[in-house]
């Protein structure tokens, strides 16, 4: 995960805003599995999944096919846009 830190009053505190990669979003929020489980799904090792999430490496089309097939086998709602963008969270105070 990449973090951006912004100082507040008198630099006493800092807020950390986390920038989530689409692959990390898929794993954590869509499939709800660990890096080890994602590695098993794709036939890669956990280090490769970590590289995807850090943005150091992109998954291949074959990897994406395996992730898509896994999601569908688990009856997870799927859209291929998830590979390229993270859905925005609903604004606070609004009904979802």
Q: Is the dihedral of CA 57, 1, 73, 83 positive or negative?
A: negative
Interval 29-54 mean pLDDT? 97
The number of CA neighbours under 13 Å toward the Cβ of 25 is 18
Four-CA torsion 76, 30, 21, 44, nearest 10 degrees: -70
Q: Which CATH architecture has domain 2-7+20-83?
A: Orthogonal Bundle (1.10)
pLDDT at 18: 55
Report yes or no: 66 and 9 within 8 Å, Cβ to Cβ.
Answer: no
Q: What is the mean pLDDT of residues 11-15?
A: 43
- On whether the CB atoms of residues 72 and 79 are closer than 8 A, the answer is no
What was the pLDDT predicted at 82? Answer: 95
Q: What is the pLDDT of residues 55-88, one digit of tens each?
A: 999 999 999 999 999 999 999 999 999 999 887 7
pTM over 0.75: no
**Domain range list for the chain:** 2-7+20-83
């Amino acid at each position: 995960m990449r973090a951006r830190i912004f100082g507040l009053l008198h630099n006493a505190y800092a807020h950390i805003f986390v920038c989530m990669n689409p692959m990390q979003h898929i794993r954590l929020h869509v499939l709800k599995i660990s890096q080890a489980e994602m590695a098993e799904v794709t036939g890669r090792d956990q280090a490769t999944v970590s590289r995807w999430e850090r943005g150091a490496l992109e998954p291949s089309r074959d990897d994406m096919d395996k992730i898509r097939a896994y999601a569908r086998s688990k009856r997870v709602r799927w859209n291929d846009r998830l590979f390229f963008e993270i859905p925005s969270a609903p604004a606070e105070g609004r009904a979802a």
